[in-house]
Amino acid sequence: MPALTAPYSTVLWLLLLTVTIGCQGRSQAPIAQSPLNDTGITRCLSDQGVTGCEDPNSWPGQDGHFGRDLHTGFDWQRLDSAGKPLAQDTPLFSSGSRLTWRCLQDQVTGLIWQLDPEQPTLPFADTTQVLQQARREAWCGQTDWRLPTQTEWLGVLDLSQSLPPLQTGWFGPTALNAYWTASRANATQQWYVYLSGGNNGRVDHTQLAHLRLVSDGQNTLASDDCAESPSLARLSKTQSGDWFDATTGLTWQNCPVGFQRESGLCTAPESALMNWRQALEAAATQGPSWRMPNLKELASLLASGCGEGIFAEALGIPATFAPIWSSSPIVYFDQPSAWWLNSRQGEWQAASIQARAAVWLVK
C-alpha cells in the first residue's frame, strides 16, 4: 500500500513544455496516437466518506464522473499460445494450475500482455535472456516482446482495488511485489511498478523483481533501449495558448490554476497550492470543459525512459517543486486520500486529501 507523502512547501515554478524533452542525440520517432485506459475507479468521496459517484452528495469533478468506466471500462481479449483469440467464456485454468490462455490483449491500447503463472524474480540484467527467448519462440505468435514502460504498466492497473490493483480474473496469478519496467531512472536504477498498491518507484539493477512482457502486436523488431521522452513535436500550442498532446488527444491548460506566466515560466506563491477538495472546486470554476486529470492522464506526460519525469531537473524545475493533484481518489484507504504526481521525480503517490498540491487542468 503506497505510503502517504508530506506536502511540499516552497515558491512554485513550472517551466512550460517549450523545449524538447528526451534523450539527447537521438532522433525523434514519428508521433503515434496512444489511447489511454480509464482507471477503473467508479466510487467517489463525499462528506460522508466513500460513496457511489452517482450520489449527488459526492464532490463534483472526480475521476468516477468521467471516462470509459461510466460505460464499458477495460476491454480484454484472451489469446492462446499461438496468439489466436479465444472465446470470452474460456476458463483461466484448464487442469491443475495450467493456464488456458497464455496472453491477454488490451483492446483499447492494442498491447498484448504475457501471462506467467510461475512469477519468477530476477535482476535486471537477466531480463534480456527472457526477452530473447520470448522473441525466438514467438510466444503467442509475437516476436516483438519487450519490457513495458512504467506508464504502460499503469495503464492496465485497476485503481479501484489493491492487493493487487490488477484484474487477476484476466491476468492470472500476480505477485504483490515489484515488477521491472523499460523506463530507466538512471545508469544504475530502473523504474518499477509495485503490484500491491499500484505505486511506482526506483530499484537498483542488482535487486530482484518480477517480470511480465508486453508486445505491440506488430512483430517488428523491438528495441531494448529506453523509449523516447515526450517532446515538442508531440505538444503544440492551441489558439487559446494551451497545450495539445497529439499522442493522447488531450489539451492541457497553459499554466496550473493560480499560476501566472512570466518570461516563459509559470510562477505562483505558495498560496496557489490547494488541498484536494479545493482543487476540485477550483476546476469547476474554469469552465465546463476543464477538469482535473485522472492519474493515468497525468502520468501520460511522464518520460517513458532516458531519465526522470517530464518535469525533470533538466527543465529547470527546482528540487522542491510541488506535486500535482489527479482527480483519482483512493477508495480503499481508511484515511481519505487521492493520487498525485511528484512532478519532478515522476513518482505517482498516495496523499491525504488535506495535503496541498498544484492543480493542472485538462480537457
318 shares a domain with 269: yes
Burial (Cβ within 10 Å: 0-12, 13-18, ≥19) of residue 168: middle
Specify the pTM.
0.87
207 shares a domain with 85: yes
Residue type, 150: Q
Task: Tell me whether residue 347 is in a domain.
Answer: yes
Region 291-301: what's the mean pLDDT?
A: 92
278 shares a domain with 247: yes
Region 185-194: what's the mean pLDDT?
A: 91
Q: How many CB atoms lie within 10 A of CB 147?
A: 27
**Cell digits for 197?**
498498491
Q: Kindly indicate the confidence band of residue 345, based on its pLDDT and cuts at 50, 70 and 90.
A: confident
250 shares a domain with 195: no
241: phi > 0 → left, psi -120 to 50 → alpha, else beta; which? left
pLDDT score of 194 more than 70 = yes
User: What does the pLDDT read at residue 321?
Assistant: 62
Per-residue model confidence as pLDDT tens digits over 47-100: 999 999 999 999 999 999 998 888 788 999 999 999 999 998 888 877 666 678
- Whether 273 and 309 have beta carbons less than 8 Å apart is answered as no
Task: Tell me whether residue 220 is in a domain.
Answer: no
User: What does the pLDDT read at residue 288?
Assistant: 81
20 shares a domain with 104: no
Number of domains in the chain: 2
Handedness of CA 51, 57, 59, 61 (dihedral sign): positive
- CA dihedral (292, 296, 299, 304) in degrees, to 10, reads -160
User: What does the pLDDT read at residue 96?
Assistant: 61
Cell numbers 510562477 correspond to 267
- Whether 183 and 303 have beta carbons less than 8 Å apart is answered as yes
User: What does the pLDDT read at residue 11?
Assistant: 36
Coil, strand or helix at 279: helix
Per-residue model confidence as pLDDT tens digits over 328-340: 999 999 899 999 9
- Do the strands 112-114 and 103-106 form a parallel or antiparallel pair, or are they unpaired? antiparallel
**CATH number, residue 178:** 3.10.100
103 shares a domain with 153: yes
